[in-house]
Amino acid sequence: MLRIRGTVGDLPVDLTVEMDESDWARLGSHLGIQVQDPVPQGDISAKPAASRNDAIWDIAQELLRKAGQMTGPDLLGQLEGLSGSTAAGKRLMVRMRHSASVKVESQGDTPVYHWIE
């Protein structure tokens, strides 16, 4: 599920979009990342397919990587829309904070998330 909140002009918008694995793969391809395809049922030697949460995590990382850096409130807003809820967005932020590819620095009251390679 993907939740989009914001405004169109003066009108508030709160839109929820149901997405299946193929929809996530198409979204990932538009962002320039590849979401793993499901593993065929008969192939037990292959590793398990990425779950929806892994697909969201991949897209969240790509979002910060392409931006280079984002303030905490801006990143949370993007992650809320991506994950569909404030709680899930906050969980993604905590996961990013502990990622080796992300550096968080404090600028006054606002943390700034930087993508590092």
Confidence of residue 16 (pLDDT cuts 50, 70, 90): confident
Distance CA 49, CA 64 (A): 24
Confidence of residue 73 (pLDDT cuts 50, 70, 90): very high
For residue 115, is pLDDT > 50?
Answer: yes
Q: What is the pLDDT of residue 96?
A: 92
Q: Is the pTM of this model over 0.75?
A: no
Q: What is the pLDDT of residue 23?
A: 79
Give the CATH number of domain 2-39+50-115: 1.10.10.10
Higher pLDDT, 117 or 89: 89
Confidence of residue 28 (pLDDT cuts 50, 70, 90): confident
**Mean pLDDT along residues 90-110:** 91
Distance CA 34, CA 74 (A): 24
Q: What is the pLDDT of residue 46?
A: 47
- Two tokens at 24? 């996530």
Q: What is the pLDDT of residue 47?
A: 46
Sign of the four-CA dihedral 36, 14, 73, 90? negative
Q: Are strands 102-107 and 11-17 parallel, antiparallel or unpaired?
A: unpaired
Q: Are 67 and 115 in contact (CB under 8 A)?
A: yes
Distance CA 12, CA 54 (A): 30
**Mean pLDDT along residues 16-37:** 74
